Each structure stands twice: as C-alpha cells, then as structure tokens.
Amino acid sequence: MTEIQPTIFPLSTTFNIKVKNKTARVGVIGLGYVGLPVGLLFARNGLPTTGFDIDPAKVERLEKGETYIRHIPASVIAEQVGKGGFRATTDFALLKEMDAILICVPTPLDQHREPDLSFVRNTTEAIMPHLRRGQLVVLESTTYPGTTEEVVLPILEKSGLKCPILPYATDGSRVTAPQQPAGDFLLAFSPEREDPGNKQFQTHQIPKVVAGVNAPSALAAQALYGQVFERTFVVSSTRAAEMAKILENTYRCVNIALVNELKLLCLRMGIDIWEVIEAARTKPFGFTPFFPGPGLGGHCIPIDPFYLTWKAREYDFPTRFIELAGEINSAMPEHVVASLRGALNRRGQCLQDARILILGIAYKKDIDDLRESPSLRIIELLKQNGARVDYHDPYFPRLHRMRKYDFGMVAVEPTAEALASYDAVVIVTDHSSYDYADIVRNSRLVIDTRNATKEVEEHRERIVRC
C-alpha cells in the first residue's frame, strides 16, 4: 500500500480544494441537538451552510434568528442568518446545490426496543433524487455497525450513481490505499459527540472520528471536518467508526449500571456510595468516576447499546453486559419509588393519595431535553400507585404530549408555601438553579436521587438519599 497522492483520487481532491477555499456548501439534515450546533459551526467557519428539516416551525424560527434549544443562543443564529452564512429550509430540492450533506436525524428504538431507522431511511430517500457526482454524504446519527454500508449506500445507489466499498488503511491521520476505481459520489460516517450543557468542551474541541466507505470518501470527510474541528481521527471503515460510537455509549451505560448496583448494596450496608466514589477517584490512574442516579435518560445512553444488541443477534451473539446494564438501570425508577414509599411508611403515611412534588424533568441537570428521562417513568409509577403528583422544572413550564406519555401537567413553582404543602419532594434532576438548603428547609420529606443536598446542613433528618 502506498500513501495516497492527491491526484490518485480526483473526486476527493476536487472536494478538498472546495473545502480549503471555503466554497464547499454544507447541508445539514435534522436541525436538533446535534444538527443545529454542527451547522452553525460550519457557518461560523465560513462554509456556506444550509439546514434542512421537515419541521417547518423550526425552520421558521431559525430564519427569524430565533433559537429553540436553550444552550444555543439566538444571537449566534441571528448573526449567521444575518450574514447569509446559515439558512434553514424545508425544501429538499436545494440538496443538489450542496457539496456535503450531513445526516443528523434521530435513531430511536421502536415499541419492541428494536432500532427504528425510519428517520435515516426517509432522509436518505429524500437525498437520493438530488444526489450528484462529487457530493459527499455523511451519516452522523448514532447507529449499529453496518448502517452506512448496508442501509444508506444501497438507497443512494438507486440514483444510478455508484460509490464502491473498498479497503484502505490509516494510522488515525494518514490514509493509505492502493489505486482504486473512481466512484461517482463520496460516502462517510462520522459520529457526533455533542454533550448538551457541557460548558467544558465546545463542539469544535471534541475530536471527530471519521471513516469512509473507500479512501476518497475518508479523505473528503477528513478534509471537511478538519476545517472546523481541532482534531480528526480517521478509522479504516465506517463499521469501525459506528462501533466506536456505540462503544463510548455502552461504556457509560455499563459503568453507570455498576455504580447503581453498588449504590443499592451500599444503602443496605449503611455505606455512603458518594463518599466511596470520591475516595476511589483520588486514584490517579485506572479509575474513572461514574455516578449513580434515578435511571438513565437522553437520546443516547439508554438507546444506543440496544442498537448493537439487535445487530449482534445476526451473529448469534448475546451482548450480556448490555442486557444486564439495561436491566439494572431501567429498574432505578422503581427503586426511587420504593424508597419514597418506605420513607412515607416510616412516617405512618402511605403512597396512595400522598401529595408528591417531583423536582426536575430534564434527563440531566441544566438542559432542556426530557427524552427518556427517568422523571417520566417515576411520575407514571407514582400515578399508578395512586399518588397525587406535581412537578417543577425551570425548563419545562408544561409537559406536552410525548410518544409514550401524555400527563397534561403544568409546572408548580416550588415556593416555600408550595413545598410545605407536599408530603414529599423528590429531587430527580439536580438543576443548578435550585436552592437545595431552601428546599430542605421548607419540605417535610426530601428524597434525593442525585446527592444534590450534600452541602445542606440543616434538617438533614428530612433527607432520604436513594
């Protein structure tokens, strides 16, 4: 194998020149938590960017320079829209004007907990009639290994244009390959590592893993992302890149399950799991802290590992770690409810008819995303047990209808008077805006699933950590 000379792959060479000149037009499909920041990143770096979404309300708001994601300021959108660097549209015919098309649509599980690739399929079908020679298509949605080659590629090739799957080698930065027959378009996979609400890392600072179905596709993706990300890391196949993303999320899922299980043991043994983790994390090597909680939430950690489980069945391979972690994590809301029931019983009360206030609906602190949030399952369980439930979350003044839940609830302000009127307050999400000392001072009983009250000194007898 020889190191690639730029001239060997005219398709990627032409593409790379456009990227370097900042004349490459970038299209981002799916303007959600992942697509919108990525689109704005390209726009801010001078690559003319168009965002595509099927939701006309989102497109309309973006075109007015407004935001619908709390941690993405309207000023950033307004600046790029004003300059003409970013525009949003529902008109997919404009895809043919794009040089690169990034797919950032949802990859949820269906009601049987199997991968629902309908968003990816529909988007790819929408690209196909507009696909043209020299375009780069990149799948960014998290999915099982094989999706780019087995699902996206065949749909795109229905256009009559070809993109052969061919081997290449890489050490992470250099791509090496034998001379390869030219394809018509370029196809890559590059997983998104967006961490909403994380103030430590901005999108461009998080290294971007990229891979192509062949060497020119890998080179084009490397050039594109290298223009806006501080670091890219090329792997030798889209399947390896897809697996890398699932590994990252499975690693979190399994380790969170481990500390959740140890928390249950520690509670029985009268040991403070939070103190244990603080002690263990002083080890300067070989230990990464994970924290227990009320259960997993978000679009990624509770879902992505099961994409792999589903694919592994094709290879007659049981993913036992994933299944066990899923079992432990998904039992945590039941544990929270059992702890609440026990605490009420010890006070001579029962859950039936008890008035309960849930604090925090978002799946993690300081963000406005409630997908898969354990709060929703906890509310469902409490209602099933006859409790009278209210909630508060600074980011959700009301609970709209969701795919699985329709509570029709409106947030209750946690004033001193309101807090005192509940039999128990359950802290499910530890938003920074809450005054935890105030919450404990004014509540009769506080169930703390996040160790949010650790600094509270007064009335600790009212706190039950679970």
Ligand X SMILES: NC(=O)c1ccc[n+]([C@@H]2O[C@H](COP(=O)([O-])OP(=O)(O)OC[C@H]3O[C@@H](n4cnc5c(N)ncnc54)[C@H](O)[C@@H]3O)[C@@H](O)[C@H]2O)c1
Residue 141 three-state SS: coil
Residues with Cβ within 8 Å of 461's Cβ and at least 6 positions away in sequence, in order, are: none
Query: Interface with ligand X includes 252 (CB under 6 A)?
Result: no
Of 95 and 187, CB closest to ligand X: 95
Q: At 50, which helix (H) or strand (E)? A: strand 49-52
Residues 292/273, Cβ–Cβ less than 8 Å: yes
Question: At which residue do the structure tokens 């299944």 appear?
Answer: 323
Angle at 361 between CA 58 and CA 66, to 5 degrees: 20
Q: Tell me whether residue 91 or residue 458 sits nearer to ligand X (CB atom).
A: 91
Whose structure tokens read 């005192």? 420
Q: How far is residue 460's CA from residue 91's CA, in Å, rounded to a whole number?
A: 58
Q: How far is the CB of 370 from ligand X (least distance, A)?
A: 12
- Asked whether the beta carbons of 1 and 176 are under 8 A apart, the reply is yes
256: which 2 tokens? 């969170």
- Confirm or reject binding of residue 35 to ligand X (CB under 6 A): yes
Given the rule CB under 6 A, which of 27-35, 270-278, 287-295, 324-332 is the region that contacts ligand X?
27-35
Q: Give the Cα separation of 279 and 432 in Å (integer).
A: 24
**Residue with smaller CB distance to ligand X, 15 or 144:** 144
Q: At what angle do helices 238-269 and 273-280 cross, to 10 degrees?
A: 130
Q: How many residues bind ligand X (CB under 6 A)?
A: 26
In the set 157, 184, 194, 366, which binds ligand X (CB under 6 A)?
Answer: 194
List 80, 141, 236, 250, residue binding ligand X (CB under 6 A): 141
CB 209 within 8 A of CB 140: no
Q: Which stretch binds ligand X (CB under 6 A): 4-12, 24-32, 387-395, 442-450?
A: 24-32
| Nearer to ligand X (CB atom), residue 92 or residue 274 | 92
Identify which range of 119-127, 273-281, 372-380, 409-417 contacts ligand X by CB under 6 A.
119-127
Tokens of 199: 């103030």
Nearest to ligand X of 52, 422 (CB atom): 52
55, 248, 380, 438: which one contacts ligand X (CB under 6 A)?
A: 55
Does 197 bind ligand X (CB under 6 A)? Our answer is: no
Q: Is 107 in the site for ligand X (CB under 6 A)?
A: yes
Beta bridge partners of 87: 50
Q: Among residue numbers 153 through 182, which ones bind ligand X (CB under 6 A)?
A: none
If one asks whether residue 364 binds ligand X (CB under 6 A), the answer comes out as: no
Smallest gap from Cβ 412 to ligand X, in A, equals 27
Stretch that binds ligand X, among 101-109, 200-208, 319-327, 421-429 (CB under 6 A): 101-109
* Residue 266 annotated in active site: no
Q: How far is the CB of 445 from ligand X (least distance, A)?
A: 33
Selected range binding ligand X among 98-106, 284-292, 397-405, 428-436, rule: CB under 6 A: 98-106
> Does 372 contact ligand X by CB under 6 A?
no
Phi then psi for 358, rounded to 5 degrees?
Answer: -95, 125
306 to 325: interface string for ligand X, x by CB under 6 A = --------------------
- Least distance in Å: CB of 33 to ligand X? 4
According to the binding rule CB under 6 A, does residue 122 interact with ligand X? yes
Does the footprint of ligand X cover residue 196 (CB under 6 A)? yes
Q: What are phi and psi of 84, to 5 degrees?
A: 85, 10
Binding-site member from 4, 8, 28, 30 for ligand X (CB under 6 A): 30
Residues in the chain: 466
SS3 of 366, please?
coil
DSSP state of 148: I
The catalytic position among 253, 266, 300, 466 is 300
Calculate the CA 336 to chain-centre distance.
Answer: 24
Q: Is 362 in the site for ligand X (CB under 6 A)?
A: no
145 binds ligand X (CB under 6 A): no
Minimum separation from the CB atom of position 107 to ligand X (A): 4
For the residues of 293-360, what is the DSSP string, one character each?
A: -S---SSSTTTHHHHHHHHHHHTT---HHHHHHHHHHHTHHHHHHHHHHHHHHHTT--STT-EEEEE-
77-79-81 Cα angle (round to 5): 65
The burial class, CB within 10 Å (0-12 / 13-18 / 19+), for 41 is buried
b/e string for 161-183 if b means 16 or more Cβ within 10 A?
bebbbbebebeeeebebeebeeb
Of 26-34, 182-190, 225-233, 428-436, the window that binds ligand X (rule: CB under 6 A) is 26-34
Q: Which listed residue (300, 382, 445, 464) binds ligand X by CB under 6 A?
A: 300
Stretch that binds ligand X, among 130-138, 188-196, 206-214, 383-391 (CB under 6 A): 188-196
Is 202 a residue that touches ligand X (CB under 6 A)?
no
Instruction: Name which position in 19, 77, 101, 104 contacts ligand X (CB under 6 A).
Output: 104
Label residue 128 left, alpha or beta by phi (over 0 means left) and psi (-120 to 50 means alpha). Answer: alpha
Q: Does 242 bind ligand X (CB under 6 A)?
A: no
CA dist 333 → 212, 234, 263, 404 (Å): 41, 40, 14, 16
- Site residues, ligand X (CB under 6 A): 29-35, 52-55, 58, 104-107, 119, 122-123, 141-142, 192, 194, 196, 299-300
Active site members? 300
